Amino acid sequence: MEKITSRNNPKIKYACSLKNDRSSAFVLAEGLRLCEDAARNQVAIESCFVSEKMAQSAACASILQASAQCYEITDAVCDKLADTKNPQGIFCICKKPQALSEVEPAGKYLLLENVRDPGNFGTMLRTAEAFGLSGMIACGCCDPFGAKAMRASMGAVFRFPVIEAENELVFLQEAKRKGMSLYCSVIDSDAADVATLAGKSGMITAVGNEANGLSEEILALGTPVTIPMAGRAESFNASQAATVLMYEMSK
């Protein structure tokens, strides 16, 4: 395996540049779990970088096998690539799965508007996959392939379709024209109970960001639904609310 000892090696510089390049077709994945997820899900792995210690571990064998090119790196190079404090010593440059641009009219989708917290975003992605939804539609959200969002998604980002809608209103109008229903999560005891989402298909359920909720423009297009609350008027965290919505959608 070729050894890279310089933090200024062009391959390392390129790998680091991916951390802040949302528009790239490639992403730098860090850690055994995420790199394994990539290898296991037929994600194209362009390069794999492993520390000397990791190179000797059996745990990385399948990842090295799946990777077009493999490099051994020093601890200093490892620290440069790492996003975490105690890196495990394995990094892969992965090709992002092709983003979808259209919804399947009979499918079930969660739409997130302006969700910026990568931990929340990744958790919702993982949960959407577990509930068997058709995909997630992201409007003005954080980068699905940011390091923290990828970690929180537990690899779901490599498997589960995310549609990044540039103009959410045009997108939703088109979806409605195809016969899909839009539901909007709100805090309003007069809105329909979320249980109304059960047993339906051809639907998009929208969740806004925690501070501001959904925009007026999206609210104007859909049917408001709400989670009955018995306790004080504290609203749910956005990702807990989305979990209940998806649970009902999955029924």
Q: Which is nearer to its own copies, 51 or 153 (CB)?
A: 153
Interactions with its own copies, residue window 211-230 (CB under 8 A) = 227-230
* Cα 224 from chain centre: 25
CB of 242 to its own copies, least distance (A): 9
| 123 token code pair | 């958790």
d(C-alpha 237, C-alpha 217), whole Å: 22
Instruction: Single out the residue of 1, 25, 79, 132 in contact with its own copies (rule: CB under 8 A).
Output: 132
Is residue 244 involved in binding its own copies (CB under 8 A)?
yes
CB of 32 to its own copies, least distance (A): 15
Q: Which is nearer to its own copies, 158 or 171 (CB)?
A: 158
CB of 167 to its own copies, least distance (A): 29
Between the CA atoms of 241, 244, 250 and 251, what dihedral angle is there, to the nearest 10 degrees? -150
d(C-alpha 195, C-alpha 175), whole Å: 22
d(C-alpha 203, C-alpha 151), whole Å: 28
Instruction: Single out the residue of 51, 67, 127, 215 in contact with its own copies (rule: CB under 8 A).
Output: 127
Is residue 129 involved in binding its own copies (CB under 8 A)?
yes
Q: Do 180 and 154 form a contact (C-beta atoms < 8 A)?
A: no
Interactions with its own copies, residue window 154-183 (CB under 8 A) = 154-156, 159-160
DSSP annotation of 193 reads E
Q: Which is nearer to its own copies, 105 or 132 (CB)?
A: 132
| Residue span binding its own copies (CB under 8 A) among the ranges 52-60, 86-94, 171-179, 242-250 | 242-250
Binding letters toward its own copies, positions 67-106, x by CB under 8 A: ----------------------------------------
Across the beta sheet with 108-113, the strand order is 162-164, 135-139, 108-113, 203-207, 181-185, 223-226, 192-193
d(C-alpha 95, C-alpha 92), whole Å: 10
Is residue 24 involved in binding its own copies (CB under 8 A)?
no
Going by DSSP bridges, is the β-strand pair 90-95/45-51 parallel, antiparallel, or unpaired? antiparallel
Instruction: Single out the residue of 73, 126, 150, 203 in contact with its own copies (rule: CB under 8 A).
Output: 126
| Strand partners of residue 213 | 209
Q: Where does this chain bind its own copies (CB under 8 A)?
A: 123, 126-133, 154-156, 159-160, 227-232, 234-237, 239-240, 243-244, 247, 250
